Structure 1
């Protein structure tokens, strides 16, 4: 299925954020996964270590992204690349929701501060 329409996207919610999954194996992708992240105003996501590179592109609002201890505020049109093995944290420091696009490889997992591992369904 090379085309995925908005009404076919699957919504997942975790850690106060929403992940709207478009591209994944269930929609025909073999190598890449892509989703729209939505993070409400003031939300702080838990720090986590990612197993695969992730590319971020801000669609609306502003996010504060920390990658291996280096932090930047990103606005509409800004992008960032987090390498595999990086420690990642995302915050919305504003009073408005933020939306961003993320692309990674299929099979992504993340290790949380308590040592547990999640395999997000929006990337697998």
Structure 2
């Protein structure tokens, strides 16, 4: 498969990739910690990508979420549903094709969404019938 140049990638040509790339670049610009993107296409109908990242404080988490929503609206004309912004321990941004979870590190560690969405990549518990 030939690599597609960034210049030829337009939101009209591939809106999901454009949204996903915007999310990742926005989080990088805002110095998110441990950003992980989990591909969901073909595994779940809720979205094509789930992005999980952390901020050092509730203030950074809230700022990253607000800037991301503004960038999605300004650059792609896409709105998003946002939950958890007042407390900013865990902010969920549902942009349809991409779902973003922003956490404080302690909260992220507690919920461990990466493990929950591993889809067979996590070790299976032993089967007592074969022990």
**TM-score between the two structures when normalised by the length of structure 1:** 0.30
* Structure with more helix by fraction: 2
The structure that has the greater radius of gyration is: 2
* Structure with more strand by fraction: 1
